[in-house]
Amino acid sequence: LVNGQLKPWTGTTTNVYSSISSTESYQPTLLGSIPSMGENEALEALTSACDAYHKGQGLWPTMKVADRIECMEKFVKQMESQREVVVKLLMWEIGKTLGDSQKEFDRTVEYIYDTIEEYKQLDRDSAKFSKRDGVYAHIRRGPLGVVLCLGPYNYPLNETFALLIPALIMGNTAIFKPAKHGVLLISPLLEAFRSSFPKGVVNIIYGRGREVAAPIMKSGRIDVLALIGNSKSAIALQDQHPNKNRLRLVLGLEAKNPAVVLPDADMNLTIDECITGTLSFNGQRCTALKLVHVHEQIQDTFLEQFTARVDAMKFGNPWEEGVKLTPLPEPDKPEYIQELIDDALAKGAKILNKRGGERTDNFIFPAVLFPVTKEMHVYQEEQFGPVIPVKPFNDIQVLLDEIADSNYGQQVSLFGKDVYELSPLIDTLVNLVCRVNLNSACQRGPDVFPFTGRKDSAVATLSVHDALRSFSIRTFVASKDN
Ligand code: G3H
C-alpha cells in the first residue's frame, strides 16, 4: 500500500510457511507469499509518507481533530469485519492458540477505541493559551513527523498497532513493515487502511529489513523509529541513520523478568502464576517470566509441584481444545533452546521434568532447569521460548544485587504473603524495574497502564495513555497580540 494505492505486484515473491504441518509426516505448510520489495519501492513509500506530512493542501497533521478521528473510526469498523480471517491467520502463521488469537484481535480493537477516546481528552487538555512577559502562546500537542514502524512476530497485530495507531492519530504519517512471521494477516486489513486514510498517510511495505528498512533509515528523512523487537535490530537501524541525534525512538525491547518466590508464598497460586508467566504462548512474550528465583526453604515443594504441572501441559495445534503448547514459528528456535539446555547441563544444572527437551515437529517441550547459575547462557540471555531456568536463593540482598546488575529492567513478579514485610522490598524493586506484580505473573495489560522498561528493555512508554505522548511534541504559536 503506497501513496493510497494497492499496487499490483509483478516482481519476485517470498513464500510464507506455517510451522504447523498439514500432513502426518512433519512438513511446514505453505501459506502464501509476499512481495519481495526493494530499495525503489521503499523509497517510494518514504516519499509518499513525507509528502503526506508536509506537502499540499488538506494535510493529515493539519486536519481537524474530528476528521482524523473519523478516519480512525472508519478503519476500526472495517477491521472488525475481518476478525475471523485474521484470527485464523494468527493461528496458522505464529501458532497462537485460538483463545489467545481471539484475545489479540479483540484487545487490538479495544486499544483503538480507547486510543480515540484518550486522544479526544488529550487534545482538550493540551490546547492552552498562556501569557508571560507580553507574549501570548497558543500551545498544542502535535505530531513528530514521519514514522518507520516495525512490529514483532509474537503480537504481529496488537503490538504493531500499539505503535501505529497512536502515531497516526497524533498526525504523524507512517511506513509500516509487518513482522516476518504474522505478515499475511495484515493483508485482509489493507483495503481498510486504503479506504480509511488519505493517500500517503499510511504506507505498508514488505521485504527484508536490509532491503527496505535500511534504505529508508539511510535517507535521513525518518523522524521516528518505532519498533518492538530486539535491541540488536534497533541499534542496527539507528546506525543507518546519518544523523542519529535527530531520530526519536519509541522502542519496546527485551526483558528477562524474574519471579521471586519467598518462603511464605501461597504455593498453589504461585505455581499457577508461574506456569502462565513462563509458558503462555510458549514463553514467546517480552513480558514472560524468564528466570524463577525460589527460596531454598521451599524449593523442593515448589519444584515438585511445578515440574508436574509443566509435564501435564498439552502440545498440539492452536485450535485444539485444551492445547497450551504449540509449534514455534521460528524454524531455528528449537535448536537455540536445545543449545541453552546443553550449556546449562554442561555447567551443572539438571532437567527436572520428565518431558523436558522432548522434540516434536517444530517444538521442544519446556525443560525446567535447576540449579541455574550466573555462568549459564540461559541465565544471561532472553530465551524467548520454552525453557525455564530456576535458581535457588537464601539471601534477599544478594538477589537484589543480581536484579540490579541485569541488563534489563521491565518487570518483576514477587510471591509472598506478608505485605507488611514485603513493602520495603517492593519499594526497592520498583526502582530497579518499572512494574512489580504482587502474587501474579508479569504482563503488559491492562493496556491503559504504562508499559515500559529501564536499561535495555525500552525507550519511551507505550499504553493507551502514554503512547500518544511518546508520538507527539508540545508546539506553540507565539504572538505579541492576544
Ligand atoms: O512480547 C511482549 C508483549 O508486550 C507481551 O504482552 O503481557 O500482554 O502478553 P502480554
Closest ligand 1 atom to residue 107 Cα is 8
CB atoms within 10 A of CB 345: 15
Name the closest-CA residue to atom 8, ligand 1. Answer: 444
- For residues 96-100, give the mean pLDDT: 98
What pLDDT does 56 receive?
A: 80
Q: What is the pLDDT of residues 252-263, one digit of tens each?
A: 999 999 999 999
Higher-pLDDT residue of 422 and 376 is: 376
Whether 173 lines ligand 1, by a CB cut-off of 6 Å, is no
Asked if the model's pLDDT at residue 419 lies above 80, the reply is no
Q: Quick one: DSSP state of residue 61?
A: T
Q: What is the pLDDT of residues 192-232, one digit of tens each?
A: 999 999 999 999 999 999 999 999 999 999 999 999 999 99
Name the closest-CA residue to atom 7, ligand 1. Answer: 443
**3-class DSSP state for residue 104?**
helix
Asked if the model's pLDDT at residue 38 lies above 90, the reply is yes
Q: What is the pLDDT of residues 42-76, one digit of tens each?
A: 999 999 999 999 998 789 999 999 999 999 999 99
Give me ligand 1 centre to Cα 313, in Å: 21
Whether 96 lines ligand 1, by a CB cut-off of 6 Å, is no
Give me ligand 1 centre to Cα 56, in Å: 40
Whether 290 lines ligand 1, by a CB cut-off of 6 Å, is no
Q: What is the pLDDT of residues 10-31, one digit of tens each?
A: 999 999 999 999 888 889 999 9
pLDDT class for 421, splitting at 50, 70, 90? confident
Whether 353 lines ligand 1, by a CB cut-off of 6 Å, is no
Closest ligand 1 atom to residue 451 Cα is 4
Give me ligand 1 centre to Cα 172, in Å: 25
Radius of gyration over alpha carbons of the chain, in Å?
24
253 grid coordinates: 525491547
**Quick check: 149 and 163 in contact, CB under 8 A?**
yes
CA atoms within 13 A on the CB side of 294: 26
Whether 60 lines ligand 1, by a CB cut-off of 6 Å, is no
Q: What percent of the chain has pLDDT over 70?
A: 100
Whether 444 lines ligand 1, by a CB cut-off of 6 Å, is yes
- Peptide bond before residue 28 is cis, with ω within 30 degrees of 0: no
Ligand 1 pocket test: which of 157, 159, 434 has the largest number of ligand atoms within 8 Å of its C-beta? 159
**3-class DSSP state for residue 212?**
helix
What pLDDT does 7 receive?
A: 86
What pLDDT does 228 receive?
A: 98
Whether 97 lines ligand 1, by a CB cut-off of 6 Å, is no
Whether 286 lines ligand 1, by a CB cut-off of 6 Å, is yes
**3-class DSSP state for residue 88?**
helix
What pLDDT does 331 receive?
A: 95
Whether 435 lines ligand 1, by a CB cut-off of 6 Å, is no
Judged on CB neighbours under 10 Å (0-12, 13-18, 19+), 381 is middle
Give me ligand 1 centre to Cα 270, in Å: 20
Whether 295 lines ligand 1, by a CB cut-off of 6 Å, is no
What pLDDT does 57 receive?
A: 76
- For residues 80-109, give the mean pLDDT: 98
Give me the residues paired with residue 148 across strands: 175, 225
Give me ligand 1 centre to Cα 334, in Å: 21
Name the closest-CA residue to atom 6, ligand 1. Answer: 444
Give me ligand 1 centre to Cα 482, in Å: 48
Whether 445 lines ligand 1, by a CB cut-off of 6 Å, is yes
Q: What is the pLDDT of residues 329-351, one digit of tens each?
A: 999 999 999 999 999 999 999 99
Whether 443 lines ligand 1, by a CB cut-off of 6 Å, is yes
Whether 287 lines ligand 1, by a CB cut-off of 6 Å, is yes
Give me the residues paired with residue 146 across strands: 173
410 grid coordinates: 521491565
Give me ligand 1 centre to Cα 170, in Å: 24
**Quick check: 340 and 378 in contact, CB under 8 A?**
yes
What pLDDT does 51 receive?
A: 97
Whether 437 lines ligand 1, by a CB cut-off of 6 Å, is no
ipTM of the prediction greater than 0.95, yes or no: yes
Closest ligand 1 atom to residue 442 Cα is 7
What DSSP string describes 242-294?
A: S-GGG-EEEEE----EEEEE-TT--HHHHHHHHHHHHHGGGG-STTSEEEEEE
Judged on CB neighbours under 10 Å (0-12, 13-18, 19+), 72 is buried
Q: What is the pLDDT of residues 271-290, one digit of tens each?
A: 999 999 999 999 999 999 99
Give me ligand 1 centre to Cα 351, in Å: 27
**Quick check: 448 and 293 in contact, CB under 8 A?**
no
Whether 154 lines ligand 1, by a CB cut-off of 6 Å, is yes
Give me ligand 1 centre to Cα 286, in Å: 6
Whether 187 lines ligand 1, by a CB cut-off of 6 Å, is no
Over the range 411-429, which residues count as b (16 or more CB within 10 Å of their CB) and which as e? Answer: bbbbbbeeeeebeebeeeb
Average pLDDT, the chain: 96
Signed CA dihedral, 199, 200, 206, 207: sign only: positive
Closest ligand 1 atom to residue 445 Cα is 8
Q: Quick one: DSSP state of residue 55?
A: S
Q: Quick one: DSSP state of residue 2?
A: B
What pLDDT does 23 receive?
A: 84
Residue whose C-alpha cell is 529492567: 409
What pLDDT does 402 receive?
A: 98
- For residues 476-480, give the mean pLDDT: 94
Q: What is the pLDDT of residues 111-159, one digit of tens each?
A: 999 999 999 999 888 888 899 999 999 999 999 999 999 999 999 999 9
What pLDDT does 66 receive?
A: 95
Strands 367-370 vs 363-364: parallel, antiparallel or unpaired: unpaired
